[in-house]
Structure 1
Amino acid sequence: MMSGRGEPKVEMRTEKLLIRNARQIVAVCSNGERVLCGEAMKNPVILNQDGGNNGVSLVIGSDGLIKGIGSTAALSKGIRFSKIIDATGKCVVPGLIDGHTHPVWAGDRVHEFSLKLAGASYMEVHKAGGGINFTVEHTRQATENELYATFKQRLEGMLRCGTTLVECKSGYGLDAETEIKMLKVIQKAKRELAIDVSSTYCGAHAVPMGHTSGAATIDVIQNQLPKIVKLIKDGQLEVDNIDVFCEQGVFNKEQTRRILTAGRQAGLALNFHGDELHPMEAAELGGELKAEAVSHLEEISDAGIKAMAESGSIAVILPTTAYILRLKHPPVRKMIEEGVAVALGSDFNPNAFCMSMPLVMHLACVNLRMSMQEALVAATINAAASLRKSSTHGSIEVGKVGDVLILDAPRWEHLIYQMGNHEKLIEYVIKQGDVVHQRDSNKR
């Protein structure tokens, strides 16, 4: 096409978003890494403004994917933008990823908190009819709409704290009807909310009252799972993972193996609880089965660490759990030194009511002795890998989804350093190039 003066007319294309002149863009990865382990966790990729104070810019395309990172002049040539955000003096980091939550339930357990403060253990509360069993009773009674209303509020709270991808479990039903009800609630959120969701079937979260673990194992494998698989095949559900609470007095190692094997045969990823309250050789089992992830691991053995490092299974560490239950901390430093990929999760549930991944990262640094760089890696690319999503999420790289946070701070570390100030620090939460949360300017 020619202009009026006989010169070629440059066709302008339109992209969704330009974030320009940031002081820092924390890309985390730059070479398409699936996961970062060992020393690599200490060295996430960070792009800084140059000595002349020329900032770093980011383009997110009309398809919601990242198109370029670099100088504003180079990135914006021949492009119109639907929206431009000036990030001068500010920092851009990937959207945070929460690798372990239980956010669908009815009936809070605030009354149990005082019992725990007085010294009651998790299992003592559980055996007295509290804990998971209390939540199961209330969740069974709640309607699908009632569960969705509170679930939606919780996910929106997580989004405001910077989480753009979250793993969500069922597990407060313990029967086919309620587990399916919970999975349908999660499915609705997948379709309707701005946050991305990885869904997990956790029918083996506890042994139902009046049942044995053996009977519960059979029910999960022969009754619950086949019904869920049928709904998946019929297109009514999308379920990504299967989980089991491998614990003394719940499901033993062999029962866990049987349930996980059945889940894998159904096409689900293995992402389960293990070695939390007692050493169960769950990490060894995870390594043997090449599970995508094992969570908790407060009681992991040296052999379990070696097995997970060799298999590539990711350790999803939950700092809130040890904090609230006053458990010993998982040996995260040894895991990292031995080559285990460590991820983080909030463990949001009625027992650990935490929606904030920045707070989780803070606890990981203070209590588990992770560096801030390691905590960021664990809450981004490694958490994405635990959910089989690191090819699309978890870092700021060309071709990945445009999920980022803009921090009103001169260094990205403020995300961890500023304890409990995230409603002021996080200025924008951006999902696939769309602003899904913006800080109230009156709260600066």
Structure 2
Amino acid sequence: MNTGTTAPTSARTTARTTAITNIAALVTNDPSLGDGSPIGLIQDAAVVMDGDRVVWVGESSKAPATDNAVDAGGRAVVPGYVDSHSHLVFAGDRTQEFNARMSGRPYSAGGIRTTVAATRAATDAQLSANVAKYLAEGLRQGTTTQETKSGYGLTVADEARALRVAADHTDEVTYLGAHIVAPELADDPAAYVGLVTGDMLDACAPYARWIDVFCEKGAFDGDQARAILTAGQAKGLVPRVHANQLSYGPGVQLAVELDAASADHCTHLTDADVDALAHSRTVATLLPG
């Protein structure tokens, strides 16, 4: 974002410029702009876009000439929300589990299996409709970037299908074959880790940007999680970690070690975990939020 630079003519497209004017309060998240606060608040502001890119922000009276203008009607304008952790490729529901948790009974990683069975039985069209519905609802509420994961297929074909469906709707797609050990291999987790880092990864990597693992008792331990994430890195995928959700464990430290984009959940943290996150580039995504 800038406050006056225009792209060279040779770099410009045929996109038309649009000014959004009469903004009562514009949040830029740039402390160098506006009132100097951390949110970079500009009052009586305008935003200029060239096609789908913001090329200028500032006071309305200083806005450059544009092809089009949109009157914001004195509303506030804020950046879109980013949902960095969602599971939109699924079928069925887990109402009984939710009721149990609300009554004080603990959640366990095994609850995922209920959704696995329903997701495997769903058609591509049903899964795609679910993703489209929830992305649209998120956008309606101001979420303009929404990551979504696989993780409810747990076979090569079902995981690849989930990611293919997700990739039809968003670029922010995460391979989560390591959500839990597939029911068929519950007695041989090492074989499932081999599948997740081998044939399943080969089938899924072309559709994904990220790789995730549920590092938790009942799911994958630290050594298994490291093997899964480093295999994904070798394929060009960026790590994320379901970390320290149900108990204290190695998830946060592993996320920091591998320079993961995020360590998600973070319910049970030690002082050492907090310090590690504070001195890293890994974002702590606190869930539920």
Give the shorter-chain TM-score range: 0.7 to 0.9
- Indicate whether 1:60 and 2:55 are aligned: no
Structure 2, unaligned runs of 5 or more? 1-13
Distance verdict in 2 for CA 1:112–1:249, change over 3 Å = closer
Deviation sequence 1:58-110 (CA, Å, 0-9, x none) = 1111x211121123343243x321xx322243211011111110011011122
Partner of 1:44: 39
Residue 30 (structure 1) shift: 5.5
Partner of 1:277: 246
**% identical equivalent positions:** 33
Deviation sequence 1:25-77 (CA, Å, 0-9, x none) = 00012669xxxxxxx9x8221112xxxxxx2111111x211121123343243
CA contact (8 A) 1:25 1:91 kept: yes
- Indicate whether 1:226 and 2:195 are aligned: no
| TM-score of the aligned structures, taking structure 1 as reference length | 0.58
Equivalent of 1:148 in 128, 132, 137: 128
Aligned length: 272
- Indicate whether 1:202 and 2:176 are aligned: yes
Deviation sequence 1:258-290 (CA, Å, 0-9, x none) = 101101111000111011111112111112112
Matches within 5 A, 1:192-271: 197-210=171-184, 211=186, 212-229=188-205, 232=206, 237=207, 239-271=208-240
Distance 2:15 2:190 in 1: 59
Partner of 1:378: none
Task: Tell me the SS of whatever aligns to 1:132.
Answer: helix
Distance 2:149 2:15 in 1: 39
| 4+ long deviations beyond 4 Å | none
Higher relative contact order (CA 8 A, sep 6+): 1
Distance 2:24 2:103 in 1: 48
Equivalent of 1:184 in 161, 164, 167: 164
Distance verdict in 2 for CA 1:140–1:64, change over 3 Å = same
Structure 1, unaligned runs of 5 or more? 1-12, 33-39, 49-54, 191-196, 321-444
Letter of the 1:25 counterpart: L
Deviation sequence 1:139-166 (CA, Å, 0-9, x none) = 1111111110121111111110101101
Distance 1:223 1:86 in 2: 53
Distance 2:124 2:31 in 1: 42
Equivalent of 1:80 in 41, 64, 67: 67
Task: Tell me the SS of whatever aligns to 1:133.
Answer: helix
Matches within 5 A, 1:21-170: 21-29=22-30, 43-48=38-43, 55-61=44-50, 63-77=51-65, 79-81=66-68, 84-123=69-108, 127=110, 131-170=111-150
Partner of 1:325: none
Task: Tell me the SS of whatever aligns to 2:172.
Answer: strand
Distance 2:101 2:62 in 1: 57
Partner of 2:20: 19
CA contact (8 A) 2:31 2:38 kept: no
Residue 219 (structure 1) shift: 1.4
Letter of the 1:221 counterpart: T
Distance 1:291 1:112 in 2: 30
